[in-house]
A and B are shown apart, each in its own frame.
Chain A
């Protein structure tokens, strides 16, 4: 359905165009394609025929030359002059007549070059039945050389000679390389017999490869890229035996350039064929390949595919042009047809429009008998009917008007009734005005309430301070009760110590010798110097060492002695108290010394405990001191922070490490109590953010006459989305009841009173640093 809708949206010209194209394009394209494929196939057949005739011609020429050479060599071996000369040389050799032999050779040599020229051979050799060279046109071969001993390029020469000498028939060697040039070459050997039929030597010719070269490098009918290639198998590898159009044989045999040329491989295997393949250089070529038995070589005639296809390419362009033209014609035809159709329709549309505008007399002159004519006829029909019903309507209208007049009268009565209800509306309005008055009064009350609320806020600010204090009280109780416990216990201990020990002292001293007394007092003296900072763990280690010492050295009750000595702060024992401790009374002696020194230890404990309690009380007193004056006094911010930290030390015991770095401890004019409230707030927030576990770093410094306080926690950080809210009043992240949300708002107000600023740096997961800057000198306020 969607397609139909889309089509119906297009105008008629376009619709027609599409239909024309829908018919035109497939038909023309099909025709063009058929024509193209026919031409291509025809071209392919023609090309095959052409390449075949060229390859056939060249194979024939090569065969002819080789046959010729074979016959020539055979003829030479039977030429009477040559047979005679060979016979003479044979006999002179047998007679060992060196002088006669050399003279005969000198006679023969000029003839040798004549034969070479006349018989179109490259080289000519006369060879003895023992395969020794009598003489040769090849300057690389010395006379007298045994050709069976020849190596490398001339090995084929030896092979052909040996075969001809053995089976006494003309023999054609395989192709091989000679040292002199890059052309692979081949040899023909033919046996010579004298009149008696005796084998008296060999005639050997070397074929002239340049002749073959010349024949196959005739490119007639091969266009610009066509060429012929011949390869022979030498030592199991394929080598070009002649130059080609594109590859010139240098002094080195070319093997690599034949590699990968499928046609050459097929040809050398004895196959015949035709096809499009890649040559060894990777070019697409049309090739024909065949085997030439006469020279045991493969032959490939090829032409580059691009050249072979060039006639089709130009034809393809022509066909495309035709295709384009036919589409263009289709376009023009469809446009003309559409315009004719549309013009007819436009007449009908024009009439319809005029009719719709009210010209009911409009009719169409019918000029055609087709569908357009029928449409015009239908329109005229319809127009007539409408004109008729229109006049009927006009009549009905007139009667309607009189009825409307009647109705209007009725309506004016109803209107009067409405006017009376307007009175009621006025009354309602008055009531509304009265209500408004009441609302105004209520607004006044609300304004009062707002004032009250504002004063309540101030009270809340105060109570926030007390709430923070309240949270502290529980911890402070522990801090004070701990020293109190130690004090009470120590006082008890002193009393209990003295009661049994004092009465026994005179008798005890009397029982001691003078030396023992001296040692005893030495022991007491040492004990009174006890280091009070030693830990329980260290004491246990000392006790264990002492106990071991005593047990190893035969003291009685070593374990008890060790316990008492360590209690007294004596950790090393080198028999200095032996006179007291290595007796039967050792334990009693030491217990009395322990009791007496215990008085000192208890007194020490009381001292420490008292100091501690006093410190807490002092801090609390500082903290709680209420100063309602807003007059700034000189005070140290660092001391204030210290006080707050003392109060919080209990809360921080469980896992908070505090680092302080007070670079500035001087006094500045400030409202110290209010600032302390700020520190309390910030430290308290920090501890809560770290859930009482982490590192709290507090630092002060003076920069540009401004005191900078930083309080850094390693808590979770402040989420970005609430960072701009935290200084606002009543904003809190704490559960209901724990924080009023006024803390940081109050802090900000206090800092603003000092003309300073408070801000923070926070990274989620790393922590938050609150920074407070307060000018070291405050403007005078009177």
Chain B
């Protein structure tokens, strides 16, 4: 039986992706499959593939400061194409205007690095339920 519900993590730092995957697998591993992408562009490709393969992507967690496409830009693009997907921006530092954009235009949450495990977990639960 396939796990078809997916959480997609996007960060240009592999160490963040690895630790996030381990962390999320421990909490949500029974229910969700954790997918990883190293850039916004790669993430958009994955989202498209997943949509075609009938998988159900429920949440995207993205860094802000990445080469080329930045987190707020990426999350707004996700919101435009997949409005039902929950969005969380997880970043060590972000432009206040970018955070505001994610909140207002992409209906997303912002969590700063280093993150608190409980805080992230609650934000995920909250935004997945919105979806």
B-binding residues in A (CB < 8 A): 474-475, 477-490, 492-493, 496-497, 532-533, 535-537, 539-540, 557, 559-560, 563, 567, 598, 601-602, 605, 608-609, 612, 650, 653-655
Contact = CB atoms under 8 A, between A and B. Distances in A.
B82 to A, nearest CB: 19
Interface of B: 1-3, 12-23, 26, 33, 35-38, 42, 46, 63-68, 70, 90-93, 112-115, 117
A650 B66 CA distance: 9
B115 A485 contact: yes
B92 A489 contact: no
A560 B92 CA distance: 32
A609 B14 CA distance: 10
Contact of B14 (A478, A536, A557, A598): A536
A612 B92 CA distance: 14
Nearest to A564: B25
A475 B93 contact: yes
21 contacts: A478-B91, A481-B92, A481-B93, A481-B114, A482-B92, A485-B113, A485-B115, A488-B115, A489-B20, A489-B115, A490-B19, A492-B23, A493-B22, A496-B26, A533-B14, A605-B15, A605-B18, A608-B15, A653-B67, A655-B67, A655-B68
Contact of A535 (B22, B38, B90, B113): B38
B15 A493 contact: no
Contacts of A482: 13, 16, 63, 92, 113
A487 B114 contact: yes
A474 B91 CA distance: 12
B73 to A, nearest CB: 11
Given A497-B26, A563-B33, A654-B67, A474 B15 contact: no
Given A493-B26, A557-B1, A567 B21 contact: yes
Contacts of B12: 653
B92 A480 contact: yes
Instruction: Identify the interface centre among A477, A483, A485, A488: most chain B CB within 10 Å of its CB.
Output: A485
Contacts of B115: 485, 488-489
Contacts of A602: 19, 22
Given A482-B63, A496-B26, A653-B66, 6 more contacts: A477-B93, A482-B16, A488-B114, A567-B21, A654-B70, A655-B67
Contacts of A480: 92
Given A488-B115, A496-B26, A602-B22, A478 B93 contact: yes
A489 B23 contact: yes
Given A477-B92, A602-B22, A609-B15, A492 B67 contact: no
Given A559-B2, A560-B3, A602-B22, A536 B17 contact: yes
Contact of A493 (B23, B63, B93): B23
B12 to A, nearest CB: 7
Chain A to chain B: the 5 pairs with minimum beta-carbon distance, closest first: A481-B92, A485-B113, A478-B93, A489-B19, A485-B114
Nearest to A536: B36
Contacts of B114: 481, 484-489
Contacts of B93: 474-475, 477-478, 481
B69 to A, nearest CB: 9
A485 B36 CA distance: 17
Contact of B13 (A486, A535, A537, A601): A486
Contact of A540 (B18, B26, B35): B35
Nearest to B25: A567
Contacts of B13: 482, 486
Contacts of B68: 654-655
B115 to A, nearest CB: 6
Contact of A481 (B19, B26, B112): B112
A633 to B, nearest CB: 34
A609 B18 CA distance: 12
Contacts of A539: 36
Given A489-B19, A559-B2, A478 B65 contact: yes
B67 A485 contact: no
A486 B15 contact: yes
A485 B92 contact: yes
B24 to A, nearest CB: 10
A654 B68 CA distance: 5
A547 to B, nearest CB: 9
A539 B21 CA distance: 13
A478 B92 CA distance: 4
A497 B29 CA distance: 13
A382 to B, nearest CB: 98
Contacts of A485: 16, 19, 90, 92, 113-115
A537 to B, nearest CB: 6
Contact of B19 (A533, A557, A605, A653): A605
Contacts of A488: 114-115
Contacts of A477: 92-93
A87 B104 CA distance: 141
A566 B38 CA distance: 17
Given A481-B112, A653-B65, A536 B33 contact: no
Contacts of B113: 481-482, 484-485
A539 B9 CA distance: 14
A539 B42 CA distance: 13
- Residue of A482, A488, A557 with highest tally of chain B CB at under 10 A: A482
